[in-house]
Amino acid sequence: MSLNKNNSRHIGVWTASSFVVSSMVGTGIFTSLGYQLIDINTAFPILLLWLIGGIISLFGAFSYSELASVFPRSGGEYNILSKVFHPAIGFIGGFVSSTIGFSAPAVLAAIALGKYVTAISPQLNSTLVASIVIIFFNLIHSQTLKYGRLIQGWTTLGKIILILFFIISGFFIQSPQNISFLPMPNDTSLIFSSSFAVSLVWVSYAYTGWNSTVYIAGEIKNPQTNIHYSLLISTAFVTILYILLNFIFLFSTPMSEMRGMIEVGYISGVKIFGDQGGKIVSGGIALLLLSTISSYVFIGPRITQVIGEDLAYLRFFSITNKSGIPINGFIFQLCISLFFIFTSTFEQVLLYAGITFIIINTITIFGVIVLRFYHPDLERPYRSWGYPWTQIIFIISNLWILYFTFKNQVFESLIGIGIIFFSLIMYFSGQKFSNKG
């Protein structure tokens, strides 16, 4: 075992894009609609939620592409925030990303996969299935780059084919719902309500992953161009996919049957394909969730590796195996993931993750404005489209979401803030320990 000195770039545009698509398309799109329908019961605001979520994510991708082209090193927010603001802020971003940011979504996808698998085979234990899948992908990605890339590419392709098949089949359903997708008289007040804002937390979580490439920027070939290509093309593609998929959910299935339910994909599948369709859809969703889990498992340890390279008291995270893979980062990630699986509910993990994502992403996007103001002459291979308005819209939108979330989801919001403050205490405690040493 030795410290990683290998800066080889081995990931091309296709693989990088597949990580973005795999990270984005997963648990959120097949679970969040049921929660949105609790407070929103007309079609236009629902589709508008997903359009707004896509636009915000695309604006975020513009900003992250600029920052990653300036600082093309793995580590995501840890690397960027450390350079733009202060190493303490960077550590917060890195700690949140490596614990909540990637472990939590991988766990959520694994839990959802377990539920869909047990819908097909009720004799299986969903928690055991989730644990086995998490362990499997940690073993694969911690031992080899070759098979990890192959799995990522093919599972992503399979995911896209399955979703497109679901969408196309939905358009040919024999008994569609008598539903209008045009604005209704009360939609305007609903769109500016707290319910709409809180629903955007679920949508934001479903779009989580639009910035995935920046976490492995140090392994991307020709990062000055390939990073922003992978982010922008993938985010735009997924936005279109999400709007179409939610259209089909609403077009094929009564809102009353999906309201408050997690497994909206299963419910809609029964309407589209008949009584046996539920099992077919459950199997398909389980397969596409494999891609999501694989993506998050692959990326997470790269963040702790970069933190370990910079901070002496966390140096063990930078240790790699003979393939240059951060083995200790994978062990750490696996322990956190299994802890989440056995101690937390699906809803708890999702809300904690969604709130912390929004906070860290907002601070990072603000970094584009700070960097342009204080370092206008810095070389920028890619410059964000629409600066500064894309950044301002992104920040205001997220602050609006956070305001209503803190107002209506007090406990979960306090947990999210607590995680951020805990990481800050960890940083300064570690620095004090290092100085004494």
CA distance 100 to 109: 13
Residue 6 pLDDT > 60, yes or no? Answer: no
pLDDT tens per residue across span 234-271: 888 899 999 999 999 999 999 999 988 877 888 888 88
Residue predicted with more confidence, 114 or 22: 114
The model's pLDDT over 350-378, given as tens digits with 9 standing for 90+, comes to 777 778 888 888 999 999 999 999 998 88
What is the set of domains in the chain, with CATH numbers?
A: 2-436 (1.20.1740.10)
Tokens describing residue 271: 């309407």
8 — pLDDT class (breaks 50, 70, 90): low
- List, for residues 90-107, the tens digit of each pLDDT value: 888 888 877 777 788 888
pLDDT at 17 over 90: no
For residue 246, the model assigns a pLDDT of 94
Model confidence at 1, pLDDT cuts 50, 70, 90, reads: very low
What is the distance between the alpha carbons of residues 350 and 27, in angstroms, rounded to a whole number? Answer: 10
Q: Residues 151, 339: contact at Cβ < 8 Å?
A: no
Integer Cα distance of 256 and 242 in angstroms: 21
For the entire predicted model, the pTM comes to 0.77
Q: How large is the average pLDDT for residues 309-329?
A: 82
From residue 298, how far is each of 106, 159, 227, 289 by CA, in Å? 10, 17, 17, 14
Question: What is residue 4's predicted lDDT score, i.e. its pLDDT?
Answer: 41
Say if residues 266 and 282 touch (Cβ distance below 8 Å). yes
pLDDT digits (tens, 9 = 90+) for 196-226: 887 887 788 788 777 777 666 667 777 667 7
pLDDT tens figures, 48-70: 999 999 999 889 888 988 888 88
CA–CA separation, 253 and 230 (whole Å) = 34
Give the whole-angstrom CA distance, residue 301 versus residue 138. Answer: 10
Q: Please give the DSSP secondary-structure letter assigned to residue 22.
A: H
Give the tens place of pLDDT for each residue, 268-299.
Answer: 888 888 877 777 777 777 777 887 788 778 87
Burial of 294 from C-beta contacts in 10 A (0-12 / 13-18 / 19+): buried
